[in-house]
Structure 1
Amino acid sequence: MSGSTITPWVIGNWKMNPVKADALQLVENFKQLLQVQPIDENKCYLGFAPISIALTSIQSELASLNRVVYTVAQDVSRVAGMGAYTGEVSAELLKDHGIQYVLIGHSERREIFAEDAHILKKKISNALNAEMTIIYCVGESLEQREAGQAEAVVLQQICDIASVVSAEQWQNLVIAYEPIWAIGTGKTASPEDAQAMHAKIREGLNQITALGSKIAILYGGSVKPENAVELAACPDINGALVGGASLNAESFYQIAQAFANTK
Protein backbone atom coordinates (compact mmCIF):
# COMPACT_ATOMS: atom_id res chain seq x y z
CA MET A 1 0.00 0.00 0.00
CA SER A 2 1.26 3.46 -0.87
CA GLY A 3 2.20 5.85 1.87
CA SER A 4 1.15 8.86 -0.22
CA THR A 5 -1.45 10.02 2.36
CA ILE A 6 1.17 10.26 5.14
CA THR A 7 2.18 13.76 6.18
CA PRO A 8 5.84 14.06 5.11
CA TRP A 9 8.76 14.81 7.42
CA VAL A 10 11.81 16.89 6.48
CA ILE A 11 14.55 16.66 9.11
CA GLY A 12 17.95 18.34 8.95
CA ASN A 13 20.75 16.24 10.43
CA TRP A 14 23.53 18.68 11.20
CA LYS A 15 25.91 15.90 12.29
CA MET A 16 29.03 17.35 14.00
CA ASN A 17 28.37 20.86 12.68
CA PRO A 18 28.30 23.91 12.96
CA VAL A 19 29.83 26.28 15.53
CA LYS A 20 27.34 28.04 17.83
CA ALA A 21 27.21 31.38 16.01
CA ASP A 22 26.60 29.70 12.66
CA ALA A 23 23.91 27.43 14.14
CA LEU A 24 22.02 30.39 15.58
CA GLN A 25 22.33 32.30 12.31
CA LEU A 26 21.11 29.27 10.36
CA VAL A 27 18.01 29.03 12.54
CA GLU A 28 17.39 32.76 12.30
CA ASN A 29 17.63 32.62 8.49
CA PHE A 30 15.23 29.69 8.40
CA LYS A 31 12.77 31.47 10.68
CA GLN A 32 12.79 34.49 8.36
CA LEU A 33 12.06 32.28 5.35
CA LEU A 34 9.12 30.69 7.16
CA GLN A 35 7.79 34.12 8.14
CA VAL A 36 7.87 35.35 4.54
CA GLN A 37 6.28 32.20 3.12
CA PRO A 38 5.01 29.79 5.79
CA ILE A 39 4.96 26.03 5.32
CA ASP A 40 1.76 24.61 6.79
CA GLU A 41 2.64 22.11 9.53
CA ASN A 42 -0.30 19.97 8.39
CA LYS A 43 1.47 19.58 5.04
CA CYS A 44 4.98 18.88 6.31
CA TYR A 45 6.56 18.18 9.70
CA LEU A 46 9.94 19.88 10.14
CA GLY A 47 12.85 19.18 12.45
CA PHE A 48 16.51 19.92 13.09
CA ALA A 49 19.00 17.50 14.69
CA PRO A 50 21.83 19.61 16.16
CA ILE A 51 24.80 18.46 18.23
CA SER A 52 23.84 17.36 21.74
CA ILE A 53 25.18 20.44 23.54
CA ALA A 54 23.01 22.66 21.32
CA LEU A 55 19.72 20.76 21.68
CA THR A 56 18.08 22.99 24.25
CA SER A 57 19.38 26.28 22.84
CA ILE A 58 18.14 25.42 19.34
CA GLN A 59 14.85 24.27 20.84
CA SER A 60 14.50 27.67 22.53
CA GLU A 61 15.27 29.51 19.30
CA LEU A 62 12.61 27.51 17.43
CA ALA A 63 9.98 28.09 20.12
CA SER A 64 9.20 31.60 18.84
CA LEU A 65 7.95 30.33 15.48
CA ASN A 66 4.24 30.34 14.68
CA ARG A 67 4.48 26.67 13.75
CA VAL A 68 6.18 23.67 15.34
CA VAL A 69 9.72 22.79 14.23
CA TYR A 70 10.92 19.80 16.23
CA THR A 71 14.32 19.45 17.85
CA VAL A 72 15.76 15.96 17.27
CA ALA A 73 18.61 14.28 19.15
CA GLN A 74 21.25 12.66 16.95
CA ASP A 75 21.83 9.80 19.39
CA VAL A 76 20.76 8.27 22.70
CA SER A 77 22.49 6.06 25.24
CA ARG A 78 22.07 2.31 25.30
CA VAL A 79 21.82 2.78 29.09
CA ALA A 80 18.47 3.79 30.60
CA GLY A 81 17.78 6.20 33.45
CA MET A 82 20.62 7.85 35.35
CA GLY A 83 23.85 6.70 36.91
CA ALA A 84 27.63 6.58 36.69
CA TYR A 85 27.92 6.52 32.89
CA THR A 86 30.28 9.33 31.97
CA GLY A 87 29.50 10.97 28.65
CA GLU A 88 26.15 9.26 28.15
CA VAL A 89 22.74 10.91 27.72
CA SER A 90 19.76 8.64 28.35
CA ALA A 91 16.34 8.75 26.73
CA GLU A 92 14.83 9.77 30.05
CA LEU A 93 17.16 12.76 30.33
CA LEU A 94 16.46 13.83 26.76
CA LYS A 95 12.75 13.64 27.46
CA ASP A 96 13.22 15.57 30.72
CA HIS A 97 14.78 18.38 28.67
CA GLY A 98 11.81 18.42 26.29
CA ILE A 99 13.45 16.43 23.48
CA GLN A 100 10.84 14.07 22.06
CA TYR A 101 12.59 12.82 18.89
CA VAL A 102 15.81 10.90 18.28
CA LEU A 103 17.80 9.41 15.40
CA ILE A 104 18.89 5.80 15.92
CA GLY A 105 20.84 3.51 13.60
CA HIS A 106 22.47 6.07 11.31
CA SER A 107 25.12 4.41 9.15
CA GLU A 108 27.83 6.60 10.66
CA ARG A 109 26.93 5.23 14.10
CA ARG A 110 26.86 1.68 12.72
CA GLU A 111 30.15 1.95 10.79
CA ILE A 112 32.33 4.38 12.76
CA PHE A 113 31.15 3.50 16.26
CA ALA A 114 30.44 -0.20 15.66
CA GLU A 115 26.79 -0.08 16.72
CA ASP A 116 25.36 -3.50 15.91
CA ALA A 117 21.82 -4.87 16.21
CA HIS A 118 22.34 -5.68 19.89
CA ILE A 119 23.25 -2.09 20.75
CA LEU A 120 20.56 -0.61 18.53
CA LYS A 121 17.86 -2.74 20.12
CA LYS A 122 18.85 -1.40 23.55
CA LYS A 123 18.67 2.18 22.26
CA ILE A 124 15.32 1.56 20.55
CA SER A 125 13.89 -0.06 23.67
CA ASN A 126 15.07 2.75 25.94
CA ALA A 127 13.72 5.47 23.66
CA LEU A 128 10.35 3.76 23.30
CA ASN A 129 10.08 3.17 27.05
CA ALA A 130 10.66 6.91 27.51
CA GLU A 131 7.84 7.50 25.00
CA MET A 132 10.12 9.16 22.45
CA THR A 133 9.58 9.05 18.70
CA ILE A 134 12.41 7.36 16.79
CA ILE A 135 13.74 8.06 13.31
CA TYR A 136 15.31 4.67 12.63
CA CYS A 137 17.91 4.69 9.85
CA VAL A 138 18.52 1.79 7.46
CA GLY A 139 20.60 1.43 4.31
CA GLU A 140 22.99 -0.68 2.31
CA SER A 141 26.60 -0.21 1.19
CA LEU A 142 27.62 0.06 -2.46
CA GLU A 143 29.14 -3.43 -2.28
CA GLN A 144 25.88 -4.86 -0.95
CA ARG A 145 23.86 -3.13 -3.67
CA GLU A 146 26.18 -4.32 -6.43
CA ALA A 147 25.93 -7.86 -5.04
CA GLY A 148 22.14 -7.70 -5.28
CA GLN A 149 21.74 -7.75 -1.49
CA ALA A 150 20.30 -4.27 -0.94
CA GLU A 151 16.71 -5.26 -0.22
CA ALA A 152 17.69 -8.16 2.03
CA VAL A 153 20.11 -5.99 4.03
CA VAL A 154 17.59 -3.18 4.56
CA LEU A 155 14.72 -5.49 5.49
CA GLN A 156 16.98 -7.35 7.93
CA GLN A 157 17.85 -4.06 9.62
CA ILE A 158 14.13 -3.50 10.20
CA CYS A 159 13.59 -7.08 11.37
CA ASP A 160 16.54 -6.64 13.78
CA ILE A 161 14.49 -4.31 15.98
CA ALA A 162 11.05 -5.92 15.67
CA SER A 163 11.47 -7.97 18.84
CA VAL A 164 11.70 -4.84 21.03
CA VAL A 165 8.87 -2.86 19.41
CA SER A 166 5.37 -3.69 20.67
CA ALA A 167 2.33 -3.60 18.42
CA GLU A 168 1.34 -0.13 19.67
CA GLN A 169 4.88 1.28 19.60
CA TRP A 170 5.26 1.08 15.82
CA GLN A 171 3.30 4.33 15.68
CA ASN A 172 6.31 5.96 17.38
CA LEU A 173 8.70 5.01 14.60
CA VAL A 174 9.69 6.77 11.40
CA ILE A 175 11.97 4.88 8.99
CA ALA A 176 14.75 6.72 7.14
CA TYR A 177 16.24 4.87 4.17
CA GLU A 178 19.76 6.12 3.47
CA PRO A 179 21.85 4.19 0.96
CA ILE A 180 25.31 4.47 2.50
CA TRP A 181 26.97 5.09 -0.87
CA ALA A 182 24.85 8.25 -1.31
CA ILE A 183 25.54 9.88 2.07
CA GLY A 184 27.72 12.95 1.66
CA THR A 185 28.99 11.79 -1.73
CA GLY A 186 26.82 13.90 -4.01
CA LYS A 187 25.43 10.68 -5.46
CA THR A 188 21.71 10.07 -5.08
CA ALA A 189 19.67 6.98 -5.77
CA SER A 190 17.49 7.65 -8.81
CA PRO A 191 13.87 8.43 -7.91
CA GLU A 192 12.95 5.07 -9.46
CA ASP A 193 15.48 3.14 -7.36
CA ALA A 194 14.56 5.06 -4.21
CA GLN A 195 10.84 4.46 -4.76
CA ALA A 196 11.46 0.76 -5.41
CA MET A 197 13.30 0.40 -2.10
CA HIS A 198 10.71 2.43 -0.22
CA ALA A 199 7.95 0.24 -1.67
CA LYS A 200 9.86 -2.86 -0.54
CA ILE A 201 10.27 -1.37 2.96
CA ARG A 202 6.54 -0.63 3.02
CA GLU A 203 5.85 -4.23 2.03
CA GLY A 204 8.14 -5.48 4.80
CA LEU A 205 6.53 -3.21 7.39
CA ASN A 206 3.08 -4.45 6.40
CA GLN A 207 4.24 -7.99 7.16
CA ILE A 208 5.55 -6.99 10.59
CA THR A 209 2.91 -4.57 11.84
CA ALA A 210 -0.72 -3.62 11.21
CA LEU A 211 0.50 0.00 11.23
CA GLY A 212 2.81 -0.55 8.24
CA SER A 213 0.77 1.60 5.88
CA LYS A 214 0.88 4.54 8.31
CA ILE A 215 4.62 4.69 9.03
CA ALA A 216 6.52 7.49 7.31
CA ILE A 217 9.53 6.35 5.27
CA LEU A 218 12.03 9.13 4.58
CA TYR A 219 14.79 9.18 1.97
CA GLY A 220 18.28 10.37 2.87
CA GLY A 221 21.47 10.56 0.85
CA SER A 222 22.56 13.79 -0.85
CA VAL A 223 19.05 15.25 -0.86
CA LYS A 224 19.15 18.79 -2.23
CA PRO A 225 16.74 21.32 -3.79
CA GLU A 226 17.64 20.08 -7.26
CA ASN A 227 16.29 16.56 -6.66
CA ALA A 228 13.71 17.17 -3.91
CA VAL A 229 10.71 17.64 -6.20
CA GLU A 230 11.36 14.38 -8.05
CA LEU A 231 11.85 12.48 -4.81
CA ALA A 232 8.75 14.05 -3.26
CA ALA A 233 6.67 12.89 -6.22
CA CYS A 234 7.36 9.22 -5.40
CA PRO A 235 4.34 7.71 -3.61
CA ASP A 236 6.25 5.82 -0.91
CA ILE A 237 8.79 8.55 -0.13
CA ASN A 238 7.29 10.41 2.80
CA GLY A 239 9.94 13.04 3.34
CA ALA A 240 13.68 13.47 3.67
CA LEU A 241 16.48 13.16 6.19
CA VAL A 242 18.77 15.92 4.93
CA GLY A 243 22.48 16.13 5.69
CA GLY A 244 24.74 18.76 4.14
CA ALA A 245 21.92 20.76 2.54
CA SER A 246 20.36 21.34 5.96
CA LEU A 247 23.33 23.52 6.92
CA ASN A 248 22.02 26.13 4.48
CA ALA A 249 18.70 27.64 5.47
CA GLU A 250 17.59 28.39 1.91
CA SER A 251 18.39 24.89 0.65
CA PHE A 252 16.64 23.23 3.57
CA TYR A 253 13.62 25.49 3.15
CA GLN A 254 13.37 24.64 -0.56
CA ILE A 255 13.49 20.89 0.21
CA ALA A 256 10.77 21.28 2.83
CA GLN A 257 8.69 23.34 0.41
CA ALA A 258 9.06 20.65 -2.27
CA PHE A 259 7.60 17.98 0.01
CA ALA A 260 4.89 20.25 1.43
CA ASN A 261 3.73 21.27 -2.04
CA THR A 262 3.96 17.83 -3.66
CA LYS A 263 2.34 15.56 -1.07
Structure 2
Amino acid sequence: MSGSAITPWVVGNWKMNPMQADAQKLIQELKQRLADQHISKERCRIGIAPISIALLSVQQQLADASVEVMTVAQDVSRIAGTGAYTGEVSANLLKDSQIDYVLIGHSERREIFADNAQVVAEKVKNALAAGLHIIYCVGESLEQREKGQAEVVVLQQICDIAAVVNADQWHNITVAYEPIWAIGTGKTASPEDAQNMHAKIREGLSQITPAGARMAILYGGSVKPENAVELAACPDINGALVGGASLNAESFYQIAHAFAQTK
Protein backbone atom coordinates (compact mmCIF):
# COMPACT_ATOMS: atom_id res chain seq x y z
CA MET A 1 0.00 0.00 0.00
CA SER A 2 1.32 3.44 -0.86
CA GLY A 3 1.92 5.92 1.93
CA SER A 4 0.63 8.84 -0.13
CA ALA A 5 -2.25 9.51 2.30
CA ILE A 6 0.09 9.71 5.29
CA THR A 7 0.79 13.14 6.76
CA PRO A 8 4.51 13.76 6.16
CA TRP A 9 7.02 14.73 8.80
CA VAL A 10 10.05 16.98 8.27
CA VAL A 11 12.46 16.86 11.21
CA GLY A 12 15.65 18.89 11.49
CA ASN A 13 18.47 17.00 13.19
CA TRP A 14 20.91 19.67 14.34
CA LYS A 15 23.41 17.05 15.57
CA MET A 16 26.21 18.73 17.64
CA ASN A 17 25.33 22.20 16.37
CA PRO A 18 25.04 25.20 16.73
CA MET A 19 26.21 27.58 19.47
CA GLN A 20 23.46 28.96 21.71
CA ALA A 21 23.17 32.40 20.12
CA ASP A 22 23.02 30.87 16.64
CA ALA A 23 20.38 28.38 17.79
CA GLN A 24 18.19 31.17 19.13
CA LYS A 25 18.57 33.12 15.90
CA LEU A 26 17.79 30.05 13.82
CA ILE A 27 14.60 29.35 15.75
CA GLN A 28 13.46 32.95 15.45
CA GLU A 29 14.08 32.91 11.69
CA LEU A 30 12.14 29.67 11.30
CA LYS A 31 9.22 31.00 13.36
CA GLN A 32 9.12 34.12 11.24
CA ARG A 33 9.16 32.09 8.03
CA LEU A 34 6.31 29.91 9.28
CA ALA A 35 4.36 32.99 10.29
CA ASP A 36 4.85 34.53 6.85
CA GLN A 37 3.73 31.39 5.02
CA HIS A 38 1.80 28.97 7.16
CA ILE A 39 2.29 25.18 6.88
CA SER A 40 -0.57 23.42 8.64
CA LYS A 41 0.20 20.31 10.66
CA GLU A 42 -2.39 18.46 8.58
CA ARG A 43 -0.16 19.04 5.53
CA CYS A 44 3.22 18.47 7.19
CA ARG A 45 4.39 17.93 10.75
CA ILE A 46 7.59 19.77 11.63
CA GLY A 47 10.16 18.97 14.30
CA ILE A 48 13.55 20.17 15.53
CA ALA A 49 16.10 17.93 17.26
CA PRO A 50 18.60 20.18 19.07
CA ILE A 51 21.49 19.19 21.33
CA SER A 52 20.37 17.87 24.72
CA ILE A 53 21.31 20.98 26.71
CA ALA A 54 19.11 23.07 24.39
CA LEU A 55 16.00 20.87 24.45
CA LEU A 56 14.05 22.91 26.99
CA SER A 57 15.12 26.33 25.70
CA VAL A 58 14.20 25.36 22.12
CA GLN A 59 10.91 23.94 23.35
CA GLN A 60 10.17 27.21 25.15
CA GLN A 61 11.07 29.29 22.09
CA LEU A 62 8.82 27.19 19.88
CA ALA A 63 5.84 27.38 22.24
CA ASP A 64 4.48 30.54 20.60
CA ALA A 65 5.19 29.53 16.99
CA SER A 66 2.31 30.08 14.57
CA VAL A 67 2.25 26.34 13.88
CA GLU A 68 3.16 23.41 16.10
CA VAL A 69 6.84 22.50 15.89
CA MET A 70 7.83 19.40 17.84
CA THR A 71 10.97 19.35 19.98
CA VAL A 72 12.80 16.05 19.44
CA ALA A 73 15.60 14.52 21.52
CA GLN A 74 18.51 13.24 19.46
CA ASP A 75 19.03 10.19 21.68
CA VAL A 76 17.96 8.56 24.93
CA SER A 77 19.61 6.36 27.55
CA ARG A 78 19.37 2.59 27.49
CA ILE A 79 18.66 2.91 31.24
CA ALA A 80 15.11 3.58 32.43
CA GLY A 81 13.98 5.78 35.29
CA THR A 82 16.46 7.66 37.45
CA GLY A 83 19.60 6.67 39.33
CA ALA A 84 23.39 6.79 39.51
CA TYR A 85 24.11 6.92 35.78
CA THR A 86 26.32 9.94 35.20
CA GLY A 87 25.73 11.68 31.90
CA GLU A 88 22.59 9.74 30.97
CA VAL A 89 19.12 11.11 30.19
CA SER A 90 16.35 8.53 30.44
CA ALA A 91 13.10 8.34 28.51
CA ASN A 92 11.26 9.02 31.76
CA LEU A 93 13.19 12.26 32.28
CA LEU A 94 12.45 13.36 28.72
CA LYS A 95 8.75 12.67 29.20
CA ASP A 96 8.78 14.50 32.54
CA SER A 97 10.10 17.56 30.66
CA GLN A 98 7.34 17.26 28.01
CA ILE A 99 9.81 16.11 25.38
CA ASP A 100 7.59 13.58 23.62
CA TYR A 101 9.72 12.67 20.57
CA VAL A 102 13.12 11.01 20.27
CA LEU A 103 15.51 9.77 17.59
CA ILE A 104 16.83 6.26 18.15
CA GLY A 105 19.29 4.26 16.07
CA HIS A 106 20.86 7.10 14.09
CA SER A 107 23.82 5.80 12.10
CA GLU A 108 26.21 8.08 13.96
CA ARG A 109 25.07 6.54 17.26
CA ARG A 110 25.46 3.06 15.80
CA GLU A 111 28.86 3.65 14.17
CA ILE A 112 30.63 6.07 16.52
CA PHE A 113 29.07 5.20 19.87
CA ALA A 114 28.58 1.44 19.45
CA ASP A 115 24.79 1.39 19.68
CA ASN A 116 24.37 -2.23 18.61
CA ALA A 117 21.09 -4.04 18.09
CA GLN A 118 20.72 -4.88 21.79
CA VAL A 119 21.35 -1.29 22.91
CA VAL A 120 18.97 0.11 20.32
CA ALA A 121 16.25 -2.36 21.33
CA GLU A 122 16.63 -1.39 25.00
CA LYS A 123 16.31 2.29 24.10
CA VAL A 124 13.19 1.59 22.03
CA LYS A 125 11.61 -0.48 24.79
CA ASN A 126 12.21 2.19 27.44
CA ALA A 127 11.08 5.04 25.19
CA LEU A 128 7.81 3.31 24.37
CA ALA A 129 7.22 2.41 28.01
CA ALA A 130 7.64 6.09 28.91
CA GLY A 131 5.09 7.09 26.27
CA LEU A 132 7.51 8.68 23.78
CA HIS A 133 7.10 8.72 20.00
CA ILE A 134 10.18 7.28 18.32
CA ILE A 135 11.79 8.22 15.02
CA TYR A 136 13.67 4.99 14.40
CA CYS A 137 16.63 5.26 12.03
CA VAL A 138 17.76 2.49 9.71
CA GLY A 139 20.25 2.43 6.87
CA GLU A 140 23.14 0.67 5.13
CA SER A 141 26.78 1.57 4.53
CA LEU A 142 28.29 2.03 1.07
CA GLU A 143 30.10 -1.30 1.43
CA GLN A 144 26.87 -3.09 2.31
CA ARG A 145 25.09 -1.49 -0.65
CA GLU A 146 27.86 -2.42 -3.08
CA LYS A 147 27.70 -6.02 -1.87
CA GLY A 148 23.95 -6.12 -2.56
CA GLN A 149 23.12 -6.34 1.15
CA ALA A 150 21.23 -3.05 1.54
CA GLU A 151 17.72 -4.47 1.83
CA VAL A 152 18.78 -7.31 4.13
CA VAL A 153 20.61 -4.91 6.47
CA VAL A 154 17.77 -2.41 6.64
CA LEU A 155 15.05 -5.00 7.16
CA GLN A 156 17.14 -6.70 9.86
CA GLN A 157 17.32 -3.37 11.69
CA ILE A 158 13.51 -3.31 11.64
CA CYS A 159 13.39 -6.86 12.96
CA ASP A 160 15.89 -5.94 15.71
CA ILE A 161 13.20 -3.98 17.55
CA ALA A 162 10.14 -6.10 16.71
CA ALA A 163 10.45 -8.21 19.85
CA VAL A 164 10.26 -5.17 22.17
CA VAL A 165 7.38 -3.38 20.44
CA ASN A 166 3.89 -4.42 21.51
CA ALA A 167 1.15 -4.68 18.91
CA ASP A 168 -0.47 -1.46 20.11
CA GLN A 169 2.80 0.51 20.16
CA TRP A 170 3.71 0.54 16.46
CA HIS A 171 1.65 3.68 15.91
CA ASN A 172 4.20 5.45 18.14
CA ILE A 173 7.04 4.70 15.73
CA THR A 174 8.09 6.57 12.61
CA VAL A 175 10.89 5.08 10.52
CA ALA A 176 13.68 7.15 8.97
CA TYR A 177 15.72 5.55 6.19
CA GLU A 178 19.17 7.09 6.04
CA PRO A 179 21.66 5.55 3.60
CA ILE A 180 24.85 6.05 5.59
CA TRP A 181 26.89 6.77 2.48
CA ALA A 182 24.66 9.78 1.73
CA ILE A 183 24.79 11.47 5.15
CA GLY A 184 26.82 14.66 5.17
CA THR A 185 28.54 13.74 1.91
CA GLY A 186 26.39 15.75 -0.46
CA LYS A 187 25.46 12.49 -2.17
CA THR A 188 21.89 11.31 -2.20
CA ALA A 189 20.14 8.19 -3.36
CA SER A 190 18.21 8.80 -6.53
CA PRO A 191 14.48 9.27 -5.93
CA GLU A 192 13.96 5.88 -7.59
CA ASP A 193 16.46 4.15 -5.29
CA ALA A 194 15.02 5.86 -2.23
CA GLN A 195 11.46 4.98 -3.21
CA ASN A 196 12.41 1.35 -3.83
CA MET A 197 13.95 1.05 -0.37
CA HIS A 198 11.01 2.81 1.27
CA ALA A 199 8.63 0.41 -0.48
CA LYS A 200 10.67 -2.55 0.84
CA ILE A 201 10.59 -1.07 4.34
CA ARG A 202 6.83 -0.64 4.15
CA GLU A 203 6.48 -4.21 2.91
CA GLY A 204 8.61 -5.47 5.80
CA LEU A 205 6.71 -3.42 8.36
CA SER A 206 3.39 -4.66 6.98
CA GLN A 207 4.52 -8.24 7.55
CA ILE A 208 5.16 -7.40 11.21
CA THR A 209 2.21 -5.15 12.00
CA PRO A 210 -1.02 -3.99 10.34
CA ALA A 211 0.13 -0.46 11.23
CA GLY A 212 2.90 -0.78 8.64
CA ALA A 213 0.67 0.47 5.84
CA ARG A 214 0.02 3.71 7.74
CA MET A 215 3.46 4.41 9.23
CA ALA A 216 5.40 7.42 8.01
CA ILE A 217 8.78 6.54 6.49
CA LEU A 218 11.15 9.49 6.24
CA TYR A 219 14.18 9.85 3.98
CA GLY A 220 17.41 11.04 5.60
CA GLY A 221 20.24 11.22 3.08
CA SER A 222 21.45 14.78 2.35
CA VAL A 223 17.98 16.21 1.78
CA LYS A 224 18.12 19.73 0.36
CA PRO A 225 15.61 22.15 -1.18
CA GLU A 226 17.03 21.15 -4.57
CA ASN A 227 15.97 17.49 -4.26
CA ALA A 228 13.04 17.79 -1.83
CA VAL A 229 10.34 18.14 -4.48
CA GLU A 230 11.44 14.98 -6.33
CA LEU A 231 11.70 13.01 -3.10
CA ALA A 232 8.33 14.28 -1.89
CA ALA A 233 6.70 13.06 -5.10
CA CYS A 234 7.61 9.44 -4.27
CA PRO A 235 4.58 7.61 -2.84
CA ASP A 236 6.36 5.88 0.04
CA ILE A 237 8.59 8.79 1.09
CA ASN A 238 6.56 10.49 3.80
CA GLY A 239 8.91 13.26 4.81
CA ALA A 240 12.55 13.89 5.63
CA LEU A 241 15.07 13.72 8.44
CA VAL A 242 17.18 16.74 7.54
CA GLY A 243 20.76 17.26 8.67
CA GLY A 244 22.88 20.17 7.45
CA ALA A 245 20.06 21.91 5.59
CA SER A 246 18.13 22.25 8.86
CA LEU A 247 20.77 24.68 10.14
CA ASN A 248 19.46 27.23 7.66
CA ALA A 249 15.90 28.38 8.36
CA GLU A 250 15.04 29.10 4.73
CA SER A 251 16.40 25.79 3.44
CA PHE A 252 14.58 23.85 6.15
CA TYR A 253 11.36 25.72 5.47
CA GLN A 254 11.60 25.01 1.73
CA ILE A 255 11.98 21.28 2.40
CA ALA A 256 8.93 21.27 4.68
CA HIS A 257 7.01 23.32 2.10
CA ALA A 258 7.91 20.81 -0.63
CA PHE A 259 6.40 17.94 1.33
CA ALA A 260 3.38 19.99 2.41
CA GLN A 261 2.63 20.90 -1.20
CA THR A 262 3.22 17.48 -2.70
CA LYS A 263 1.46 15.18 -0.25
Identity %: 74
Deviations 1:10-57 (A, max 9, x none): 000000000000000000000110111111111000000000000000
- Deviating above 2 A after TM superposition, structure 1's stretches of 4 or more consecutive aligned residues are none
- Describe the SS at the equivalent of 1:170: helix
Distance 1:119 1:258 in 2: 35
Give the match for residue 94 of structure 1: 94
Deviations 1:94-113 (A, max 9, x none): 00001000000000000000
- Contact persistence 2:31–2:66 (CA under 8 A): no
Give the match for residue 162 of structure 2: 162
- Describe the SS at the equivalent of 1:152: helix
Give the match for residue 50 of structure 1: 50
Give the match for residue 76 of structure 2: 76
Give the match for residue 205 of structure 1: 205
- Contact persistence 2:179–2:189 (CA under 8 A): yes
Give the match for residue 223 of structure 2: 223
Distance 2:137 2:86 in 1: 26
Distance 1:41 1:3 in 2: 17
Give the match for residue 214 of structure 1: 214
* Equivalent position amino acid for 1:31 in 2: K
**1:246 lines up with 2:246 in the alignment:** yes
Distance 1:63 1:135 in 2: 21
State the shift of 1:237 in Å.
0.1
* Equivalent position amino acid for 2:251 in 1: S
Structure 1 unmatched ranges of 5 or more? none
State the shift of 1:118 in Å.
0.5
Deviations 1:181-237 (A, max 9, x none): 000000000000000000000000000001111110000011000000000000000
Alignment of 1:1-263 (within 5 A): 1-263=1-263
State the shift of 1:66 in Å.
2.4
Distance 1:205 1:222 in 2: 24
- Contact persistence 2:15–2:50 (CA under 8 A): yes
- Describe the SS at the equivalent of 2:175: strand
Distance 1:37 1:176 in 2: 27
Distance 2:158 2:34 in 1: 35
- Contact persistence 2:34–2:67 (CA under 8 A): no
Aligned length: 263
Distance 1:222 1:65 in 2: 26
- Describe the SS at the equivalent of 1:218: strand
Q: TM-score, normalised by structure 1?
A: 1.00
Distance 2:34 2:208 in 1: 38
Distance 2:39 2:115 in 1: 36
Deviates more, 1:174-183 or 1:33-42: 33-42
Distance 2:253 2:131 in 1: 29
- Describe the SS at the equivalent of 2:218: strand
Distance 2:146 2:85 in 1: 41
Distance 1:162 1:76 in 2: 19
State the shift of 1:67 in Å.
1.6
Distance 2:211 2:22 in 1: 40
* Equivalent position amino acid for 2:185 in 1: T
Q: TM-score, normalised by structure 2?
A: 1.00
Distance 2:221 2:23 in 1: 22
- Describe the SS at the equivalent of 2:58: helix
Distance 1:43 1:240 in 2: 14
- Describe the SS at the equivalent of 2:210: coil
* Equivalent position amino acid for 1:130 in 2: A
Distance 1:212 1:39 in 2: 26
Please provide the CA RMSD for this pair. Answer: 0.4
Structure 2 unmatched ranges of 5 or more? none
